[in-house]
């Protein structure tokens, strides 16, 4: 369970609600496995943080935690989650290249689609360093080369086009567009408002993924 509040005082009030609910229903929270995180507003954050307690036990403050498989950080950066996906992709790619080296090309393409194109929660990446993002793209391209036994320096766009496989940027565009479509079709008015705001992070990323910059040299 996750509690999200605008202030530390509000957080302690919600923890009090949880404590009373637990007493009334015979439940017990594991305070030792519970923790809290304070999001930063740019460079601003609380200079002094009073103890936050649950059932009399002080909770540990953390700078990041994993929620439903997605890393959430205090500065709302997605670099850690992108790095998680890059490492997971590397492991899956090495496993496929080792175990299925003698399979046919069609089998390898099917395995690549099934195991190397998931990019779990990539729809939510809106704040990241380009270096981290590029490292994941390179890992994706190298995974395809390793599985198919292609030359390390062969054209990425050419090999994906020839195999009928979506490239890295195509996957990101489709996943981001899919999330926006589901948010706009949601019965929740809050999700619809968030999806349609032109200044929202999701809209900015969608525009960035679908726009093209051309530099002409005369």
Q: Over the chain (218 residues), what is each successive 10-residue block's mean pLDDT?
A: 90 93 92 90 79 90 92 94 96 94 95 93 92 96 94 92 94 90 88 81 80 50
Six token digits for residue 67: 């929620």
- The helix, strand and coil proportions of the chain, stated in percent and rounded to the nearest 5, come to 55, 10, 40
The torsion defined by the Cα of 9, 11, 15 and 21, in degrees rounded to 10, comes to 100
Same domain, 98 and 51: no
Number of domains in the chain: 2
Q: What is the pLDDT of residue 216?
A: 43
Q: What is the pLDDT of residue 212?
A: 52
Same domain, 24 and 120: no
Same domain, 168 and 87: yes
What pTM did the predictor assign? Answer: 0.85
Domain holding 58, by residue range, is 8-62
Six token digits for residue 35: 């923790």
Same domain, 56 and 88: no
To 5 degrees, how large is the angle CA 82–CA 68–CA 99? 60
Same domain, 88 and 165: yes
In a domain, 68, yes or no: no
Six token digits for residue 202: 């999701």
In a domain, 51, yes or no: yes
In a domain, 217, yes or no: no
Task: Yes or no: say if 172 and 209 are a contact pair by the CB < 8 Å rule.
Answer: yes
DSSP state of 39: -
Which helix (H) or strand (E) covers residue 93, if one does? Answer: helix 79-99
Tally the residues of the chain.
218
C-alpha pair distances (Å), 23 with each of 56, 114, 188: 13, 46, 32
CB half-sphere exposure, 73, CA atoms < 13 A: 13
Same domain, 103 and 58: no
Bridging pattern class, strands 35-36 and 64-67: unpaired
Q: What is the pLDDT of residue 112?
A: 96
SS3 37: coil
């Amino acid at each position: 369970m996750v509690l999200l509040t605008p202030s530390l005082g509000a957080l302690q009030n919600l923890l009090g609600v949880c404590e009373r609910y637990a007493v009334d229903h015979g439940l017990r929270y594991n305070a030792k496995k519970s923790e809290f995180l304070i999001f930063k507003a740019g460079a601003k954050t609380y200079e002094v943080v009073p103890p936050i307690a649950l059932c009399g036990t002080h909770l540990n403050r953390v700078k990041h935690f994993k929620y439903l498989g997605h890393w959430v950080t205090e500065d709302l950066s997605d670099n850690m989650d992108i790095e998680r996906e890059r490492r997971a992709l590397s492991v899956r790619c090495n496993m496929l290249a080792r175990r299925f080296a003698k399979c046919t090309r069609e089998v390898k393409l099917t395995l690549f689609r099934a195991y190397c194109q998931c990019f779990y929660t990539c729809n939510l990446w809106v704040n990241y360093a380009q270096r981290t993002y590029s490292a994941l793209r390179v890992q994706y391209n190298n995974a395809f080369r390793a599985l198919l036994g292609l030359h390390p320096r062969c054209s990425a766009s050419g090999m994906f086009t020839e195999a009928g496989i979506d490239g890295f940027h195509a996957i990101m565009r489709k996943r981001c567009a899919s999330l926006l479509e589901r948010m706009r079709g949601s019965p929740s008015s809050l999700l619809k408002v968030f999806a349609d705001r032109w200044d929202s992070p999701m809209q900015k990323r969608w525009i960035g993924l679908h726009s093209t910059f051309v530099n002409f040299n005369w």
